[in-house]
Amino acid sequence: MGLVKISEQMHANLRSVSAALSRSINAQAEHWMRIGMLAELHPTLNYSELCQLLIRAENSGASAIGAPIDIAPSIPQARAVSR
């Protein structure tokens, strides 16, 4: 475990959102980091689909996000990314 320096504004955002969602500040920061990492690995998926990946990984015992996660056929892979 290590320390990560973040801005005061980000820490304020973490405090606010973590209270609203009944998570610790660290748990909220980790959630955002996991979602961000998955978004970079799977840029065609939306937030709901990324959350489904996290749930599937948890249920299968794959705790490391860097580990390959089986993406179910119900999640479209070839969707165009609109920018």
pLDDT in tens, 9-40: 999 999 999 999 999 999 999 999 999 999 99
Q: Is the predicted pLDDT of residue 73 greater than 50, yes or no?
A: no
- Tell me how far apart the alpha carbons of residues 15 and 48 are, in angstroms, rounded to a whole number: 23
Q: Is the predicted pLDDT of residue 54 greater than 80, yes or no?
A: yes
Judge contact between 44 and 79, C-beta under 8 A.
yes
Across the chain, mean pLDDT equals 82
Kindly list the domain boundaries of the chain, sorted by start residue.
Answer: 7-83
CA dihedral in degrees (77, 44, 34, 6; nearest 10)? Answer: 170
